[in-house]
Amino acid sequence: MNTYAKTHLLVLDDWGMAGLTDEQRRDLFEVIEDRYDRGSTLITSQVPVNNWHQVIGDPTLADAILDRLVHNAYKITLKGESMRKKRKSLTKTPKADT
């Protein structure tokens, strides 16, 4: 846990794909609390921020975690089609005539 707290940039990729257990909630709070005003945290998620309370599960811990994350955050919302879809159509090879 100390390593996560001390790193300059912590990246949580695809965050919120599943709800958190009690242990995961407590661990996340501990890491976010230890990092507050000490390091950067980058979170990527397909879950809208206003649904993160539901993902975290416990309302009190969700408030505490999100208070430390959201209020000092830069939010970037991407629009458009998935790059995976675009890349797939760009790399398709035409079928050979037989």
pLDDT tens across 31-51, in order?
999 988 888 999 999 898 889
- Structural domains in the chain (count): 1
- Tell me, yes or no, whether 98 lies in a domain: no
- The answer to whether residue 9 scores a pLDDT higher than 90 is yes
Per-residue tokens: 60: 């009190």
* Domain span at 44: 2-91
- The reported pLDDT for the residue numbered 95 is 66
Per-residue model confidence (pLDDT) at position 65: 93
Decide if 73 is inside a domain. Answer: yes
Instruction: Please check whether residue 2 is in contact with residue 32, taking contact to mean a CB–CB distance below 8 angstroms.
Output: no
What is the pLDDT at residue 71? Answer: 84
Give the residue-averaged pLDDT of 91-97: 62
Residue 50's alpha-carbon distances to 2, 16, 27, 96, 97, in angstroms, are 29, 12, 21, 49, 51
Helix (H, G, I), strand (E, B) or coil at 14: coil
**What's 83's domain CATH number?**
3.40.50.300
Residue 86: pLDDT above 80? no
- Please report the pLDDT score of residue 16 as a whole number: 92
Does residue 33 form part of some domain?
Answer: yes
Residue 97, domain member (yes or no)? no
